[in-house]
Structure 1
Amino acid sequence: MGQIVGAFAMSHQLGSPEGVEDQSERVFQGMREVGRRIRALDPDLIVMITSDHLNNFSLASPAPFAVGTAAEFTPCGDMGLPRDPFPGHPAFAEDLIGFARGEDLGIARADPLQPDHGAMIPLGIVDPDRTIPAVPLYVNTVFYPHPTPAESYRLGGVLRDFVGAGRPQGEKVVLLAGGGLSHWVGMPQEGVINETWDRAFLGDVLAGRGQALAGLDNSEILEVAGNGGLEVAAWIALAGAVPGAKGEEIFYEPMPSWATGMAGIELEVA
């Protein structure tokens, strides 16, 4: 059976350091620290739990959950990010789809797929040489209806069970969630950061209170953390994959000029 050897999360935004030089440096160094810790685990693959930003999915196919199945991915290059390809892991992705179906959870096949910044900011920092196979696992946060926090938490549990029961002996898997924290996109409140909510959310994640997070409601998140705040669904899925795991805050910076609360964490994996 396989093993989840690492569980991490970070915001998937970057912005100009102008005027926020000290905060930016702490964020950059924190992101690099996440990368160092992941590479030190020498994983066989990374499961990137993230969201798309209208670059790959549409109203014609609004899957609650989807996974990239290609052997290689070429990023779409939004936000000026490099388009150098990175390796996928089609066997893992295809088997996950089948396993989830057996658990009465639908995960769609995302093919073709050109990952946007939701995947590529974290992966670009964690694996700059693009040598570690990565499987993009998407949680829909754009098209209504969004999966509920309870459904995202269950996705994490199915992913955990799949790695433990459906993967080869000794396979080392790192989970990396991307997105959030509070932010409003294309809304009058854009640039507002709800630091109080961010810190309460991080407190629950780091204390291993995943069940409490699963009990949140999307309407509540929309109201207090914004439409972009729905991206914390990826963090909730991560918590579901390592239930009860406590963790460490690597960085947190409320950054209005970047229009989001920036954070990075590691959860302890037994």
Structure 2
Amino acid sequence: MSRIVVGVGASHSTLMNTHWDRVEHTDGAERFRDGLAEARDAVAAARPDVAVIVGSNHFRGFWLDMIPAFTLGVGEVLGAGEAGTPKGPQRTRPDVAQALAEGLVDRGTEVALSARLQIDHGQTHAIQYVLRDLDVPVVPLVVNVFAAPLPRLDRCVALGRNLADTVAALPGDLRVAVIASGGLSHRLPWPSDWRDPHGEDEEFLVEAWLNGRGDWESYDGRRRQIITAARPVIADGFDEAFLADLERGDLARYATWTSADVEEAAGNGGQELRTWLVMAAALGFAPGRRLAYAAMPEWLTGMGVALIEP
């Protein structure tokens, strides 16, 4: 019988790759890095045959011309390679990905399919750190967390539960890791609603999101400038409470939250917490273990790592 053998939730930030030498909160940075290493060792010990990476996409593989709520990479998977993250073809399991897609649809979660999916650090950060030096193929599951309207949080929970049931029905004895990439609290210098940008920077970003297909790199320099110049907004109190709920196995309570609730509590970047809910639901909301947390203003984000073992 196939089964999910481990779940990981981990924040991501390209600034970890590009701005390490500018970090002032070195204790927090090292604590988060060590947490990623501990998560990597836990995944290695679980010996997965495949890893489902539930993550976001920061308008390097999806654009406003087409953004489904949920997308599964069922064929070729390409890393965008921005800011020192993995670039080019990634090792995949198209047979497993296609079976997951069919099983999810059968169970009531309609996922879009991509036979040539470009992912960015919303997923490759996890490949770079949580799967470091592990020869584990990946199945990317992309959740729309940036282009309103966003999928409801209870639908993300349903996705996770349906993912668990689908894995259990896979033939053979596959061991599956589920890795959630994103969060915790942060506020990106992006329009909360792409339909209502304010100021030149937000108007530029919406233009990049709309016209970036095949040309995203031409927009990336100014995008990076906008992000690195942003003022950090981190709700460490929320992050601590969220991780405590994970440890108690109580993340299901966030299924009743709205997108407005998430943004008020954790910022617009906190919408990525949907990926953690998918992962936790796939693990049956079993009690987990916090591996690290650090509020990192240099990386604009509350950086957390947690582990759930069935």
TM-score, length-scaled by structure 2: 0.82
Q: C-alpha displacement at 1:59, in angstroms?
A: 2.1
**What is the SS of the residue equivalent to 1:113?**
strand
Q: Does 1:66 align with 2:107?
A: no
| Separation in structure 1 between the aligned mates of residue 128 and residue 57 of structure 2, nearest angstrom | 16
List runs of 5+ in structure 2 lacking aligned partners: 192-229
Q: How many residues align?
A: 267
Structural RMSD (CA): 1.6
Aligned to 1:257: 298
Q: Which moved more, 1:151-160 or 1:89-98?
A: 89-98
Tell me, what secondary structure is at the counterpart of 1:192? Answer: coil
Q: 2:272 aligns with which of 231, 237, 255?
A: 231
Q: Which residue of 2 aligns with 1:175?
A: 178
What stretches of structure 1 of length at least 5 have no aligned partner?
Answer: none
- Separation (CA, whole Å) in 1 of partners of 2:140 and 2:125: 13
Per-residue displacement from partner, 1:127-185 (whole Å, max 9, x unpaired)?
233621100101110111111110100000010000011x1232100111010000011
Larger Rg over CA atoms: 2
Query: Which residue, out of 135, 150, 158, partners 2:162?
Result: 158
Matches within 5 A, 1:97-116: 97-116=101-120
Are the structure 2 counterparts of residues 187 and 116 from structure 1 closer, same or farther at C-alpha, using a change threshold of 3 Å? closer
Q: Distance in 1 between matches of 2:100 and 2:66?
A: 20
Q: Which moved more, 1:128-137 or 1:115-124?
A: 128-137
Does the 8 A contact of 2:53 with 2:140 survive in 1?
yes
Structure 1 distance, partners of 2:58, 2:244, is 27
Partner of 2:153: 149
Of 176, 186, 197 in structure 1, the residue corresponding to residue 238 of structure 2 is 197
Please give the alpha-carbon distance, in whole angstroms, between the structure 2 residues aligned to 1:47 and 1:223.
29
How do residues 1-270 of structure 1 correspond to structure 2 at under 5 angstroms? 1-13=1-13, 14-15=15-16, 16-17=19-20, 18-70=23-75, 72-83=76-87, 85-129=89-133, 131-165=135-169, 167-186=170-189, 190-269=231-310
Q: Distance in 2 between matches of 1:190 and 1:19?
A: 15
Greater displacement, 75-84 / 171-180: 75-84
Higher helix share: 2
Q: Percent identity?
A: 33
Q: Distance in 1 between matches of 2:190 and 2:56?
A: 19
